[in-house]
Amino acid sequence: MWILLIINFEILLACRGRYCQLVMGPAGSGKSTYCQTLMQHCEAAKRRVHLVNLDPAAERFEYPPTIDIRDLITLEDVMEELGYGPNGGLIYCFEFLMENLDWLEEQLGDYEDDYLILDCPGQIELYTHIPIMKQVARLLQQWNFQVVGVYCLESQFIEDTSKYFAGVMSATSAMSMLEIPHINVMTKMDLLSEEIRDNMDRYFDPDPLLLAEDANKSTSKRFKELNMALANLIDEFSMVSFLPLNIKDEDSVAYILSHADNAIQWGEDQEPKEPVDELEGPSED
C-alpha cells in the first residue's frame, strides 16, 4: 500500500504545472522592458511570477532576477580572460551553461508550481541558426516546463517596409528553429503617435503582398523579385502575426499575457480558490 501511495505521489508531482516564457528578440527590441512590465502587472494581480536572467551580459534589472546566469558565468569575465569578442563570448557562455546543466536544473528545481519569465540575450543568431536556445527549450520541456516563445520586435520597424520584412523573417526563423508555441509582440507602441498607431492594423496581421508592393517603391529593381518571393513565403505559411504592446496600457499587457497563458494552457491544473471578501475581517478561530 505504501509503495502505491509513493508512486501516486510521484506521478502527482510530475503532473504539477511548470510554465515559462522564453523572451527573445533583437538587441534593443524591448525584451527587458517587456519582462519588467509583465512582472509589475503580475505583482499587482497577486500572481506568483519569477524573473530568470539568461543574459550573461546584462547589467541591471528593475526586478532582481530570482535565477541569474551571471552567478555561473558572465560575458565580461569571458572577454577579459579568454580575449573573445561579444558574440563569440556569448556563445562560449551558453556552451559553458550546457556543460553545467546540473546548475541550471538545481536552480529551476525549486519552482514546481510557479511561472517563470526567462529574459534572453539580444543576439538573434542564438534563435535563428545556432541551436543553443533550441537545446535550452528542449531541456525545459524535459524538465516538465510548458514553454512559450515570446519574440519581441520594436514598432519602429514599420517606419521602413523593407526593415519590417527583415523583422518578420527573423521572427519566422526563430519560430521554425525552436519549434515551441510562439507569439510575436510588437513593442514600444507607446512611443508612436496616435495617428500612426491608428493605421497599424496591417502590420499586426500582415498582408505580405501589399507590403511587398510598398517595399518595391523604394527598392532597387533587381531586388523586386526577391521581395515578392519573401512575401509569397510569408503569405503561404501564414505563420506571422503581432500583438501590440503598450506598456502604459494595462489592457494591452493583460491581453498579451492571456495569449501566452493560452499557448501553454496555464491555469488548467490550478486548484480553484475560495473568493476572499475584502470587507470581512480575519477569522477568529
Tell me what pLDDT residue 14 has: 44
Q: In angstroms, rounded to a whole number, what is the distance separating the alpha carbons of residues 243 and 234?
A: 17
Does the residue 271 lie in any domain?
A: no
pLDDT band of residue 268 (cuts 50, 70, 90) is low
Low-confidence winner among 92-96, 195-199, 234-238 (lowest mean pLDDT):
234-238
Domain interval for residue 185: 18-205+241-264
Number of domains comprising the chain: 2
- Claim to verify: residue 221 and residue 260 sit in the same structural domain: no
- Claim to verify: residue 45 and residue 167 sit in the same structural domain: yes
Phi and psi torsions of 20, nearest 5°: -155, 150
> For residue 146, what is the enclosing H or E element?
strand 146-154
- Claim to verify: residue 198 and residue 211 sit in the same structural domain: no
- Claim to verify: residue 89 and residue 211 sit in the same structural domain: no
Cell of 53: 536572467
Q: In angstroms, rounded to a whole number, what is the distance separating the alpha carbons of residues 216 and 218?
A: 5
pLDDT band of residue 278 (cuts 50, 70, 90) is very low
Report percent pLDDT > 90 for the chain: 51
* CATH code of residue 253: 3.40.50.300
Does the residue 142 lie in any domain?
A: yes
pLDDT: which is higher, 230 or 266: 266
- Claim to verify: residue 118 and residue 259 sit in the same structural domain: yes
1-27: pLDDT as tens digits: 444 333 343 433 444 578 999 999 998
- Claim to verify: residue 110 and residue 184 sit in the same structural domain: yes
Does the residue 275 lie in any domain?
A: no
Q: In angstroms, rounded to a whole number, what is the distance separating the alpha carbons of residues 113 and 234?
A: 37
Question: Locate cell 556563445: which residue?
Answer: 91
63-97: pLDDT as tens digits: 899 999 999 999 999 999 999 999 999 999 999 99
124-172: pLDDT as tens digits: 888 888 899 999 999 999 999 999 999 999 988 777 777 777 888 888 8
- Claim to verify: residue 96 and residue 230 sit in the same structural domain: no
- Claim to verify: residue 200 and residue 211 sit in the same structural domain: no
Does the residue 279 lie in any domain?
A: no
Q: In angstroms, rounded to a whole number, what is the distance separating the alpha carbons of residues 226 and 229?
A: 5
Does the residue 62 lie in any domain?
A: yes
What is the average pLDDT score of the chain? 83
Tell me what pLDDT residue 16 has: 54
Closest alpha carbon to 29 in 114, 129, 121: 121
Does the residue 109 lie in any domain?
A: yes
pTM of the model: 0.82
Does the residue 157 lie in any domain?
A: yes
Tell me what pLDDT residue 269 has: 58
- Claim to verify: residue 217 and residue 151 sit in the same structural domain: no
SS3 214: helix
Tell me what pLDDT residue 238 has: 63
Strand segments (E) across the chain: 19-24, 49-53, 67-68, 115-119, 146-154, 182-187, 242-244
- Claim to verify: residue 172 and residue 186 sit in the same structural domain: yes
Tell me what pLDDT residue 223 has: 76
- Claim to verify: residue 164 and residue 175 sit in the same structural domain: yes
- Claim to verify: residue 147 and residue 231 sit in the same structural domain: no
Does the residue 277 lie in any domain?
A: no
